[in-house]
A = this chain, B = another copy of it.
């Protein structure tokens, strides 16, 4: 495939106009000013379009897309006890598959090719993302309220092993698309022994750890009351930071927590919609950027967001850092875009992803810039951050394969997915 005559964001976050991009074997083969010999390749006209790296969403619970709008307006504990937990008790692996497929549609339409996702029945729902042509780092977030529980006897451990086995059995075809991460749900949902075991497991297996950290003020303060230290300090004590950690939310970190995370090279997943919608607050990401933290961007699940639109998270991240710091130049556009692209790829251990660069995996999106709300296209990055909508994305490419184009998913039957998802949601409701 050749994308001809395209404006693009290069590996140094500079805009380059009228370039020609050759993609072969799932990777960028060449990015040149002159038109290369087509050698029989399909040629896509890039005029009027803008190419940038695709999004890597670093925090999601994609099967919960099925719970969109379920339990609105309830405070957190009632939402969990009256709505989410009873629903999840009836949420079969097959229903999770349809929830994940519904989510995959929304993700690819808004330019995302890969997610870090925490839920249950990893192989079963991971299949939906895999079939859609996407990538995912899947994990089962450990929840052990029992003091005597052991991680190695928990369903979380077994679920993770199942996924690792699937990946081993399908290594050639999978080509790194699905990956297994380790995970503990959070400090507050676990006891010390099983947390320590989970962190040891991650270290032994060389896995990334996904966790919720300091999402709400009460969570942060209650951890201090329980353990005399913050969630980050507690996780550090139990050995979490020997592994790469992807810490979702981080709204209420202490100064020392920031130092610890920066020192460990940990990744922070900024989830602005979810944090606002649930009344958790606004993570001070300008400070995190200034201190050199690895900031990435995630949507969280559609049951708290209520969408999976990375364009919206990027837009919100760009607006909020300015409004929060009362500084119209709080974070440069390039750094925000990097957080949603290259930063997310690195948080997923996908070191050859997230840049439009020769030799890298060809994960990218095209925007149709010939639209009234992107006119004039005087500052393209400002247009992307502040004016563009996910509906302006006309192509999403993952590993050199077009998975979404001009309103159509290429490996998902959209009508069937919406119908099956609606039906699955109704069936769970009827069984409650």
Contacts and interface: CB of A to CB of B under 8 A. Distances in A.
Interface string A85-128: 00000000000000000100110010000000000000000000
Nearest to A425: B376
Interface string A335-357: 00000000000000000000000
Given A106-B372, A328-B75, A329-B73, A305 B386 contact: yes
Contacts of A280: 323, 326
Interface in A154-205: none
A322 B281 CA distance: 8
Name the residue among A75, A280, A378 with the largest chain B CB count within 10 angstroms.
A378
18 contacts: A68-B375, A70-B376, A75-B329, A106-B372, A109-B372, A273-B386, A277-B318, A277-B322, A277-B323, A277-B328, A278-B328, A281-B323, A281-B326, A306-B382, A306-B383, A306-B387, A309-B373, A372-B414
A319 interface: yes
Contacts of A42: none
A279 B69 contact: no
Given A280-B326, A306-B387, 20 more contacts: A69-B379, A70-B376, A70-B379, A75-B328, A75-B329, A102-B372, A105-B372, A109-B373, A217-B326, A275-B323, A277-B328, A279-B326, A280-B323, A306-B382, A307-B386, A308-B373, A316-B319, A372-B417, A375-B418, A389-B390
Contacts of A102: 372, 375
A410 interface: no
Interface size bucket, A side?
35 or more
Contacts of A323: 275-277, 279-282
Contacts of A276: 319-320, 322-323
Name the residue among A105, A329, A373, A417 with the largest chain B CB count within 10 angstroms.
A373
Which 5 residue pairs of A and B lie closest in terms of their CB atoms, listed nearest first?
A: A276-B323, A69-B379, A391-B391, A276-B319, A279-B328
A287 B183 CA distance: 40
Contacts of A109: 372-373
A403 B421 CA distance: 34
A146 interface: no
Nearest to A370: B418
Nearest to A322: B279
A44 interface: no
A382 B69 contact: yes
A340 to B, nearest CB: 18
Nearest to A103: B372
A333 B389 CA distance: 23
A43 interface: no
A22 interface: no
Contacts of A217: 326
A143 interface: no
Contacts of A105: 372
Contacts of A386: 69, 273, 277, 305-307
Interface in A320-334: 320, 322-330, 332-333
